[in-house]
């Protein structure tokens, strides 16, 4: 873990003295954090986004064409910043999680975690023995942290994604799993599983959100949401602590469309000649 993204903290509330990555420290202090999801494979994108003060960037290897070589270059291009790099892997797989951490992710989002067993497996894959089965080979983290073997287990975050009705039924088991410090709601998939796809104002979806935030709070786990479901103020008021402001492609398209509509609206149509 890059030393410029670590702080040393002693906190009797948590009963431990740990070296923590910046995001983990913020969440433990109960702060709301803000990030974006990136799928456009250019280091210029992460370099630019890393310069504006985001708390985290999620590099999405589940639903985009991004590959690990590209993501490594994108993480390198933002390494001067205080923004924490996160990778969402395609599945709960030892090799995928190992590679995400080895190329420089400080946290890994794991999709479709539906049980305690799923959560325990993800945590085990992210930790070195004897607490886990992660294989040694931290190409980038070890360049900046010669003590990475000793600090990685405490610093790395595994973030299960809650996105099915089954995960809701097993939510207490998931969030109470040792090593889980945060979870992320996948709002589109969760609403689809609940039978109210994209109806983020429906009582069924809102009830699920309320339950998620409440259970997370009871277990000192930070609740997060991976995509906007309305104004960001509502996500803050609901109690989310990891809040995505959106994806790069959607944000680019929305803003250019708005600019185009405004521009076309200012065009003066020449009067027809008699």
At 181-193, the pLDDT tens digits run 999 999 999 999 9
Q: In this predicted structure, what is the pLDDT of residue 269? A: 76
Q: In this predicted structure, what is the pLDDT of residue 20? A: 56
In tens, the pLDDT along 198-231 reads: 999 999 999 999 999 999 999 999 999 999 999 9
144 located within any domain: yes
269 located within any domain: no
Average pLDDT over residues 244-250: 96
Please report, for the domain that includes residue 7, its CATH number.
Answer: 3.20.20.60
In tens, the pLDDT along 54-83 reads: 999 999 999 999 999 999 999 999 988 999
25 located within any domain: yes
Of residues 131 and 139, the one with the higher pLDDT is: 131
Distance CA 149, CA 133 (A): 13
Is the pLDDT assigned to residue 195 strictly greater than 50? yes
Confidence of residue 21 (pLDDT cuts 50, 70, 90): confident
Structure tokens, 7: 């702080």
Average pLDDT over residues 115-131: 97
111 located within any domain: yes
Q: In this predicted structure, what is the pLDDT of residue 272? A: 66
Q: In this predicted structure, what is the pLDDT of residue 145? A: 85
223 located within any domain: yes
Cα angle 222, 127, 143 (rounded to 5 degrees) comes to 100
Confidence of residue 159 (pLDDT cuts 50, 70, 90): very high
What's the pTM? 0.90
In tens, the pLDDT along 47-62 reads: 999 999 999 999 999 9
Q: In this predicted structure, what is the pLDDT of residue 10? A: 31
Is the pLDDT assigned to residue 274 strictly greater than 90? no
Q: Is the peptide bond before 130 cis (omega within 30 degrees of 0)?
A: yes
Q: Which range, 13-27, 108-122, 138-152, 257-271, is most confident?
A: 108-122
The DSSP call for residue 191 is H
Nearest to 31 by CA among 248, 267, 242: 242
Structure tokens, 4: 């410029």
Confidence of residue 2 (pLDDT cuts 50, 70, 90): very low
As for how many domains the chain has, the answer is 1
State the average pLDDT for the chain: 91
Distance CA 107, CA 118 (A): 17
**Residue 246: count of CB within 10 angstroms of its CB:** 15
268 located within any domain: no
Is the pLDDT assigned to residue 162 strictly greater than 90? yes
Q: How far is CA 63 from the centre of its chain?
A: 14
Active site residues: 63
251 located within any domain: yes
Nearest to 22 by CA among 37, 8, 38: 8
Is the pLDDT assigned to residue 137 strictly greater than 80? yes
Q: In this predicted structure, what is the pLDDT of residue 146? A: 87
- The residue segments making up the domain with residue 159 are 3-258
Q: In this predicted structure, what is the pLDDT of residue 273? A: 63
34 located within any domain: yes
Residue-by-residue DSSP string for 214-256: HHHHHTT-EEEESS-SS-HHHHHHHT-SEEEEEEHHHHHHHHH
Is the pLDDT assigned to residue 42 strictly greater than 80? yes
């Amino acid at each position: 873990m890059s030393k410029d993204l670590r702080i040393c903290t002693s906190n009797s509330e948590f009963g431990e003295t740990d070296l923590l990555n910046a995001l983990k420290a913020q969440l433990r202090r109960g702060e709301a954090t803000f990030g974006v999801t990136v799928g456009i494979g250019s280091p210029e994108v992460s370099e630019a986004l890393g310069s504006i003060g985001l708390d985290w960037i999620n590099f999405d290897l589940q639903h985009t064409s991004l590959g690990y070589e590209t993501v490594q270059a994108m993480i390198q291009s933002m390494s001067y910043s205080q923004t924490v790099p996160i990778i969402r892997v395609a599945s709960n797989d030892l090799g995928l999680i190992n590679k995400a951490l080895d190329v420089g992710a400080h946290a890994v989002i794991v999709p479709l975690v539906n049980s305690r067993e799923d959560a325990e497996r993800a945590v085990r894959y992210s930790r070195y023995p004897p607490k886990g089965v992660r294989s040694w080979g931290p190409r980038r983290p070890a360049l900046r942290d010669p003590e990475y073997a000793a600090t990685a287990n405490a610093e790395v975050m595994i973030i299960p994604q809650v996105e099915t009705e089954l995960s809701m039924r097993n939510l207490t088991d998931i969030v109470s799993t040792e090593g889980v410090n945060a979870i992320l709601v996948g709002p589109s998939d969760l609403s689809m599983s609940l039978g109210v796809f994209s109806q983020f104002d429906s009582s069924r979806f809102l009830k699920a959100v309320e339950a998620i935030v409440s259970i997370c709070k009871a277990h000192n786990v930070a609740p997060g949401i991976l995509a906007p479901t309305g104004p960001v103020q509502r996500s803050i008021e609901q109690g989310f602590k990891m809040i995505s402001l959106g994806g790069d492609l959607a944000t680019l398209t929305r803003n250019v469309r708005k600019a185009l509509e405004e521009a076309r609206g200012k065009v003066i149509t020449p009067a027809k000649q008699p």
